[in-house]
Amino acid sequence: MMVKFLHRISQKYASKWLVLLFDVSIILVTFFLAYLIRFNFKFDFDIYMLLEQLPYVALVSVISLLSVGSYKGVVRFTGFKDIVNLIIGTNILATLLICVTFISRKFSADDSIFNISGSIIYIHLLLNILFLIGAKLFIKSLYNYITQDFTTISNVLIFGAGNSGMLTYDAIKNDTKNGLEVVGFIDDDERKIGKKINLVKVYHISAIDEAFIKKHNVEDVIISIQNIDPARLLQITGSLFTLGLKVKIVPPVQSWIDGDLSVGQIKEVKIEDLLGREPINIKNPDLEDQYDNKVILITGAAGSIGSEISRKISLYNYKKLILVDNAESALYDIQQEFRQQGLTNIDVIVADVRNKTRIDHIFNQYKPKVVFHAAAYKHVPLMENNPFEAVSVNIGGTKNVADISVKHSVDKFVLISTDKAVNPTNVMGATKRIAELYVTCLKGKGNTKFITTRFGNVLGSNGSVIPLFKKQIEQGGPLTVTHKDITRYFMTIPEACQLVLEAAAMGNGGEIFVFDMGKPIKIFNLAKNMIILSGLRYPEDIEIKITGLRPGEKIYEELLAHGENTKKTYHEKIMIAKSRHIDIETVENQINKLTVIKTLTQPLEIVSFIKALIPEYISNNSTYEVLDSKK
């Protein structure tokens, strides 16, 4: 009953004048104690003189506290700055008393109420600091105690005993409803090991074992190190995951709300945090000028990349945003998303890039100035079995949109390509490489600047390995990996789309932009990390099954083709691939022949056409390898 009463009281905030009265009362009590201490706890002093001095001390204390504004603070949230403010206020009080005492001794009688012993003033100062701060911290602790939810206490460790770790500790302690109790810090610095911070011990990571976890009933570890090396993060999380611990991470300080960290901002480690490289950040103020008051058209706008480009473009001051896709349901979803945000200058159009007349009509109606061409078939095994469709969309569709862009004098055309177009081993990659070649052939024809962006796998995109693994984990496994040594470059969807926007800004036409994506990641290791991130164990809970390479699949991906090298741009993570010289007239004629192939043409015949155009295309684990043996 008492706890409930206190809990109701705790929901209210005390008046600032009540806080001032409380502080002045403490100052008057400490003034009496200062007399007692000065006279060895004997009443060998003039009691009546003390009583006459109390109103004077109260007046001076009010002036001192008003001058620093300490009474305005919320006592339950007392922090370091509030404590410093109180110390300043008590020092002002002591200074005023000393000054008045000095003047009183010079111009008044010795028995004046303004004449206070210097030793009493200094004892009073020390007692004020002790009692005022102690009272505030006691009330804060009492508030935290009565508002704490004792039914959901979780013991946590904080990895990082530096400044960021201290701020995380304070955020947890100040938020009494989070149900977290910090039982220790973890740090690599040997000088800190064994010491205590806020009465909480610092441990080395080697001390965190199953026995420690069981003894302290630890459930989570919060990594609170700013600018942590991703490789180190991967190492730390790996060792903690194997102990069955959940791992959370504190966001970068620049994303803290108003410069303050709240417990709600501490999130569980995501798979993109474990890429083993620094996130790629691009800040280019020129982007606003690129898209200001422009009509922008995006093909494949309902896909993972196209929809994210749409979201990023919607943040600029565009004139009109045209979203084109033939996936009706997905296009409807992105339309509803924008409508909920109140965006009205966005038109969604169901159309197929293979229909040249339809695309030409759209361009004629809207007159776009920037085109992002993301429409493509991208699934390697499906395209290996359906080469006609790959040619029809990836080559024919690109040709249609590119030709129409020239016809309507589009300023910039940005082709979304893939690292699978580099030294391709499958139909999908080869058709994307031909699409790259075609837009290269159009350089200088008309006013349109053609730009290509080439990047690796995108985390979380439709059909990528991450959603597949998540679904397999939900079904209880096993996770399927085609080869134990298979590796891939990865980036997040926002990173990939930011590259596309940046390429459109910096491109002058004819460039193929590639990313420095760091080191490739083993898919097998990625699968293990995802199992552990899900709170399960490998192989006890979920196994990983090796299924064998799929038709056309590589073990290793590349970002540059044979005969290509790179030159730098103004951003260290973005490079331009310097492509080998091609005979534009010959290549263009071959592509034109390829795009008019009939539906009934046999797959082997279609692929032989592709291989003639792309000599570096060597099939791997595919029925089309027979064509390579004839070369």
Cβ–Cβ under 8 Å, residues 316 and 340: no
In a domain, 591, yes or no: yes
Same domain for 294 and 165, yes or no, is no
Same domain for 159 and 256, yes or no, is yes
The pTM (predicted TM-score) of the whole model is 0.65
In a domain, 627, yes or no: no
H or E element in which residue 601 lies: none
Among 147, 164, 192, where does a domain finish?
Answer: 147
Same domain for 141 and 242, yes or no, is no
Cβ–Cβ under 8 Å, residues 348 and 310: no
Residue 456, sorted as left (phi over 0), alpha (psi -120 to 50) or beta, turns out to be beta
User: Given this model, what pLDDT does residue 104 score?
Assistant: 81
Nearest to 236 by CA among 195, 269, 210: 269
Indicate the range of 314-323, 376-385, 458-467, 550-559 predicted with least confidence. Answer: 458-467
Cβ–Cβ under 8 Å, residues 154 and 180: yes
Here the CATH number for the domain that contains residue 325 is: 3.40.50.720
Q: How confident is the model at residue 244 (pLDDT cuts 50, 70, 90)?
A: confident
Among 269, 302, 322, where does a domain finish?
Answer: 269
**Quick one: average pLDDT of 213-222?**
90
Among 124, 147, 170, where does a domain finish?
Answer: 147
Q: Which two tokens stand for residue 489?
A: 């470059």
Same domain for 193 and 321, yes or no, is no
Mean per-residue pLDDT over the chain, rounded:
83
Same domain for 392 and 261, yes or no, is no
Number of domains in the chain: 3
In a domain, 429, yes or no: yes
Indicate the range of 255-269, 310-324, 542-556 predicted with least confidence. Answer: 255-269
Same domain for 308 and 392, yes or no, is yes
**Quick one: average pLDDT of 395-407?**
96
Tell me the torsion sign for CA atoms 31, 36, 39, 44: positive
Q: How confident is the model at residue 1 (pLDDT cuts 50, 70, 90)?
A: very low
Question: What tens digit of pLDDT does each residue of 147-168 get?
Answer: 655 556 788 999 988 888 888 8
Cβ–Cβ under 8 Å, residues 69 and 85: yes
Q: Which of 136, 140, 399, 420 is catalytic?
A: 420
Question: What tens digit of pLDDT does each residue of 315-350 get?
Answer: 888 999 999 999 999 999 999 999 999 888 999 999
27 contacts: CB under 8 Å, gap ≥ 6: 57, 58, 61, 90, 93, 128, 132
User: Given this model, what pLDDT does residue 6 score?
Assistant: 47
In a domain, 281, yes or no: no
**Quick one: average pLDDT of 238-252?**
79
Integer Cα distance of 133 and 569 in angstroms? 57
Q: In what order do the strands lie in the sheet with 180-186?
A: 196-197, 200-203, 180-186, 154-159, 218-223, 246-249, 267-268
Which residue do the tokens 């005969």 mark?
Answer: 563
420 a catalytic residue:
yes
Q: How confident is the model at residue 541 (pLDDT cuts 50, 70, 90)?
A: confident
Q: Which two tokens stand for residue 421?
A: 């177009």
In a domain, 485, yes or no: yes
The secondary structure of 183-252 as a DSSP string is: EEEE-S-TTTTT-EETTEEEE-GGG-SHHHHHHHTEEEEEE--TT--HHHHHHHHHHHHTTT-EEEEPPP
Indicate the range of 84-88, 374-378, 569-573 predicted with least confidence. Answer: 569-573
In a domain, 51, yes or no: yes
Which residue do the tokens 């960021």 mark?
Answer: 164
Is the model's pLDDT at 411 over the cut of 60?
Answer: yes
Question: What tens digit of pLDDT does each residue of 446-455 get?
Answer: 899 999 998 7
Same domain for 257 and 348, yes or no, is no
Same domain for 362 and 465, yes or no, is yes
Same domain for 441 and 303, yes or no, is yes
User: Given this model, what pLDDT does residue 538 score?
Assistant: 83
Indicate the range of 11-15, 219-223, 319-323, 382-386 predicted with least confidence. Answer: 11-15
Which has the higher per-residue pLDDT, 594 or 107?
A: 594
In a domain, 24, yes or no: yes
Same domain for 470 and 551, yes or no, is yes
In terms of residue numbers, what domain contains 556?
A: 286-613
Kindly give the interhelix angle for 16-38 and 47-68, rounded to the nearest 10 degrees.
Answer: 140
**On the CB side of 299, how many CA atoms lie within 13 Å of its CA?**
30
User: Given this model, what pLDDT does residue 178 score?
Assistant: 66
In a domain, 625, yes or no: no
